Structure 1
């Protein structure tokens, strides 16, 4: 199974995503509560996939995605978005995010997206 870093400013959302991932046999190797923590935590854990919230304080998910992919262009990132963030999702995909999921997260759809992203080269 895959290893993950969860990036979200909500501790509850990080816990929910962790629960979904671990129940499917995946391992969470790092977490971050804002975009500024992404690079440091990524370097220390080298996860297979990063789930990244779009709306966070200090540095948002788009800025963090751009910074991460500049240093690690092969990083696989799934953006996590609220329904009203269509423009930001499109921007994230254009920057190199592999996919996205909309909150509230439906577990079956989320795990399907994860499988597809994990299989991408």
Structure 2
């Protein structure tokens, strides 16, 4: 069981992801709406995994990855992106994200990504 921080500016997306994760017995220990909140919660909660939306107000997921990796080089981050954001996904992976999932979320793909980063 992993302790997971979900970051997305859309409440519906956070809810959808939380439901998938809880069904697989993972614990959602926090939710954030933007990259700035993500960093603060990451430092405070020290989650096992972070799911991070790429496009958000205040601070993008891309900036947040870099910032989180400065605090914790071992952070396990999975990017969430809409179709057509491949270029940003590549940048995020170069910045230290370990995997990515595409919206709308496919349950088996989400679980596969979580399993992979926890190994």
Which structure 1 residue ranges, 5 or more long, are not aligned? none
Which structure 2 residue ranges, 5 or more long, are not aligned? none
Q: Counterpart of 2:27?
A: 27
For 1:98 and 1:37, locate their aligned partners in 2 and report how far apart those are by CA, in whole Å.
20
> C-alpha displacement at 1:34, in angstroms?
0.4
For 1:40 and 1:10, locate their aligned partners in 2 and report how far apart those are by CA, in whole Å.
19
5 Å-filtered alignment, 1:28-67, equals 28-67=28-67
Q: Counterpart of 1:110?
A: 110
Deviations 1:55-100 (A, max 9, x none): 0011110001111101111100000000110000000111110000
5 Å-filtered alignment, 1:2-17, equals 2-17=2-17
Q: TM-score under structure 2 normalisation?
A: 0.98
For 1:12 and 1:38, locate their aligned partners in 2 and report how far apart those are by CA, in whole Å.
17
For 1:40 and 1:81, locate their aligned partners in 2 and report how far apart those are by CA, in whole Å.
22
* Alignment RMSD (CA, Å): 0.6
For 1:14 and 1:109, locate their aligned partners in 2 and report how far apart those are by CA, in whole Å.
16
For 1:43 and 1:70, locate their aligned partners in 2 and report how far apart those are by CA, in whole Å.
11
Moved over 4 A (4+): none
Deviations 1:96-116 (A, max 9, x none): 100000111100111011111
- SS of 2:47's partner is coil
